[in-house]
């Protein structure tokens, strides 16, 4: 059994940023998870990031580790806005950040987390176990993919969720229906079309909301009227991007309302020419039922009050995500019961702590408490320093009051990789 002060579950942008901040604060910690797995395994090669370059930084406590610094080091031309940022470049940047600032990532999964005598006990997928005083869950969107009920009964061969891609080569030459009208649907449609799939998008909306290419330089007046912010332009975006603690102070119902109305289905500027006129799009269309017939999936759809059917070799539900901590099977029942209010949504303190003392949630699962910025990498600039500060202080107080005999934790030995 090994021991550490803080275990971070997840080695994506949030977990890595937090690890960098904990190191700077002198807190012994252990970061667990396959580094950047969601980005490497479950996003399609060739994808471009939706977020602007300046809003795609992992967050370090010191200067020198932004995406811009990485571009400079590689001798590549950087532009904060209006620059196409390929998935592969972003992953390479994140790995560079990790290799410089994140010590000893253990590429293992946590298979169980429970509370024992005021500590947390973690069982790891390689058979080892770990005891920690504090635990931070940074699992991104894992487990939260939402598939419409009508598609849920289809065999895996015929239906999947956009959260699972990955390589798209399997769909070359095939008919693929995509349900959804947001960035995931449009991005997948472009990539599938370009590799030789025939794509049909089915969306409820009456049209696609395309974001215009942002002008890189604007006058003072234009910037005053619509200031730049991590999530987009305008004062509302500025509030949501930069003041998650103010968002947290709103009542639950108001927060819910803002979440529902913010950043709905839309497409990035660089997708428009790759989708419009290239793939079939049915607007105001809803899937009523789905069945497999003669090795194809047949979708019965209703479109502007007319019923018809769409046949495809495969249907992809690009229908988003819904936070539900009950989906994390590794959490013990008492932890899930204690942290989940309102259908699996965690209610967090202003320091990202759950109702279980010492257990924190950061990243997309914290969005209902801190706003839509937490669904994006940009939110790490708020979450990582805040949680690191809170943990460092709590550990100091615990050591001073003799709650814990020592403030030092030991890290696990390195795995051979």
Ligand X SMILES: Cc1cc2nc3c(=O)[nH]c(=O)nc-3n(C[C@H](O)[C@H](O)[C@H](O)COP(=O)(O)OP(=O)(O)OC[C@H]3O[C@@H](n4cnc5c(N)ncnc54)[C@H](O)[C@@H]3O)c2cc1C
Give the residues lining the site for ligand X (CB under 6 A): 9-15, 32-35, 37-39, 43, 49-51, 56, 109-110, 138-142, 163, 184, 330, 363-364, 375-378
Q: Which of 120, 301 has the CB closer to ligand X?
A: 120
Number of H helices, E strands in the chain: 14, 17
Q: Which of 250, 249, 253 is nearest to 345 (CA)?
A: 253
Q: Which of 21, 50 has the CB closer to ligand X?
A: 50
Q: What is the CA radius of gyration of the chain?
A: 22
The residues near 263 (Cβ < 8 Å, ≥ 6 apart) are: 231, 232, 372, 375
Q: Which of 110, 316 has the CB closer to ligand X?
A: 110
How far apart are alpha carbons 137 and 241 in whole angstroms? 22
Distances (CA, A) of 256 to 24, 175, 318, 364: 35, 37, 22, 14
Burial 16-44 (b: 16+ CB within 10 A, else e): bbbbbbbbebebbbbbbbbbbbbbbebbb
Q: Give the Cβ contact number of residue 411 at 10 Å.
A: 17
Q: Which of 31, 290 has the CB closer to ligand X?
A: 31
Least Cβ distance, residue 175 to ligand X (angstroms): 22
Q: What is the DSSP letter of 107?
A: -
Start-to-end CA span in the chain (Å): 21
Q: Which of 39, 310 has the CB closer to ligand X?
A: 39
Least Cβ distance, residue 234 to ligand X (angstroms): 18
Least Cβ distance, residue 23 to ligand X (angstroms): 17
3-class DSSP state for residue 87?
helix
- Measured at CB, which residue is nearest to ligand X? 140
Least Cβ distance, residue 214 to ligand X (angstroms): 14
**Helix pair angle (380-400, 13-24), 10° resolution:** 40
Q: Which of 279, 301 has the CB closer to ligand X?
A: 279
How far apart are alpha carbons 317 and 357 in whole angstroms? 37
Least Cβ distance, residue 33 to ligand X (angstroms): 3
Least Cβ distance, residue 348 to ligand X (angstroms): 14
Q: Which of 28, 380 has the CB closer to ligand X?
A: 380
Least Cβ distance, residue 405 to ligand X (angstroms): 28
Q: Which of 123, 341 has the CB closer to ligand X?
A: 123
User: Whose structure tokens read 């939706």?
Assistant: 50
3-class DSSP state for residue 405?
coil
Q: What is the dihedral of CA 244, 246, 251, 252, to 10 degrees?
A: 0
Least Cβ distance, residue 211 to ligand X (angstroms): 12
How far apart are alpha carbons 92 and 40 in whole angstroms? 10
Q: What are 313's two structure tokens?
A: 């070799």
The residues near 295 (Cβ < 8 Å, ≥ 6 apart) are: 313
Q: Are 66 and 72 in contact (CB under 8 A)?
A: no
Least Cβ distance, residue 221 to ligand X (angstroms): 29
Instruction: Report helix, strand and coil shares of the chain as percent, to nearest 5.
Output: 35, 25, 40
Q: Which of 53, 395 has the CB closer to ligand X?
A: 53
Q: Which of 184, 319 has the CB closer to ligand X?
A: 184
Least Cβ distance, residue 73 to ligand X (angstroms): 21
């Amino acid at each position: 059994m090994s021991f550490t002060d803080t275990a971070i579950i997840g080695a994506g942008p949030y977990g890595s940023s937090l690890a960098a901040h904990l190191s700077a604060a002198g807190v012994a910690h252990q970061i667990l998870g396959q580094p950047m797995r969601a980005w490497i395994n479950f996003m399609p090669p060739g994808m471009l990031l939706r977020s602007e370059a300046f809003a795609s930084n992992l967050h370090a406590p010191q200067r020198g580790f932004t995406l811009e610094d990485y571009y400079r080091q590689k001798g590549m031309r950087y532009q904060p806005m209006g620059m196409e940022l390929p998935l592969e470049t972003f992953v390479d940047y994140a790995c560079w950040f990790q290799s410089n600032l994140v010590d000893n990532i253990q590429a293992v999964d946590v298979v169980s987390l429970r509370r024992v005598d005021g500590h947390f006990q973690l069982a790891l997928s390689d058979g080892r176990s770990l005891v920690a005083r504090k635990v931070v869950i940074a699992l991104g969107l894992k487990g939260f993919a939402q598939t419409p009920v009508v598609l849920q009964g289809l065999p895996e061969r015929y239906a999947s969720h956009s959260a699972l891609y990955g390589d798209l080569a399997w769909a070359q030459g095939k008919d693929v229906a995509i349900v959804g009208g947001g960035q995931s649907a449009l991005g997948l449609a472009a990539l599938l079309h370009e590799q030789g799939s025939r794509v049909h998008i089915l969306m409820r909306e009456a049209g696609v909301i395309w974001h215009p290419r942002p002008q890189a330089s604007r006058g003072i007046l234009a910037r005053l009227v619509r200031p730049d912010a991590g999530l987009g332009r305008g004062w509302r975006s500025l509030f949501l991007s930069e003041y998650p603690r103010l968002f947290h102070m709103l009542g639950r119902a108001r927060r819910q309302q803002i979440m529902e109305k913010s950043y709905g289905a839309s497409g990035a500027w660089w997708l428009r020419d790759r989708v419009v006129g290239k793939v079939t799009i049915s607007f105001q269309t809803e899937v009523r039922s789905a069945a497999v017939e003669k090795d194809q999936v047949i979708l019965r759809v209703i479109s502007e009050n007319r019923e018809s059917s769409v046949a495809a070799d495969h249907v992809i539900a690009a229908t988003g995500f819904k936070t539900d901590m009950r989906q994390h099977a590794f959490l013990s029942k008492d932890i899930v019961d204690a942290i989940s209010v309102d259908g699996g949504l965690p209610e967090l303190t202003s320091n990202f702590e759950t109702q279980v003392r010492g257990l924190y949630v950061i990243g997309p699962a914290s969005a209902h408490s801190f706003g839509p910025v937490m669904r994006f990498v940009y939110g790490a600039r708020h979450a990582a320093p805040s949680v690191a500060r809170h943990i460092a202080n709590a550990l100091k107080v615990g050591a001073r009051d003799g709650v814990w005999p020592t403030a030092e934790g030991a890290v696990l030995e390195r795995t051979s990789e």
